[in-house]
Amino acid sequence: MSKFSIRNNILLIAAAVLLSALPLFMSHHFSEGNAAFSGTDDQAEAAIQEINPDYKPWFQSFWEPPSSEIESLLFALQATLGAGFIGYYIGQKRKRSNPLDTKLGKEPSVQ
């Protein structure tokens, strides 16, 4: 590897770390603890209770995760599977959509 590409890789990794960590330190809610990271469902429920204290939900969840960590894990798993499926689908469509390769009888090339 050349010196130029190593330097670029280090800069890209540093930028990724900075972009990931910076929002945590810039948030003015960070010092409030876990309340700053509560979900929109909890925030919506609090807003509804503030507007109409007599409101009763229409239904209850049939299963409640044992902890917020499990709930976050399931959400992340769902997002990962969805992104993987979409990426696979787009890759397959792109591989099959190269008209020059199909006219020449070649195997589709990955670019």
Residue from 57, 63, 24, 62 nearest 41 by CA? 57
Whether the model clears a pTM of 0.75, i.e. scores above it, the answer is: no
Closest CA to 71 of 35, 33, 39: 39
Cα separation, 72 vs 94, whole angstroms: 33
C-alpha torsion sign, points 27, 28, 29, 33: positive
Q: For every one of its 111 residues, what pLDDT tens digit does the chain have, with 9 covering 90 and above?
A: 566 788 889 999 999 999 988 877 776 555 555 555 567 777 888 899 999 989 888 888 888 888 888 888 999 999 999 999 999 999 888 887 766 655 555 555 555
- Maximum Cα–Cα distance across the chain: 70
Nearest to 13 by CA among 24, 1, 21, 25: 21
Determine the length of the chain.
111
The ranges assigned to domains in the chain are: 1-57, 69-111
Residue 58's pLDDT is 84
Query: What pLDDT does 51 receive?
Result: 94
Residue 40 is encoded by which pair of tokens? Answer: 């929109």
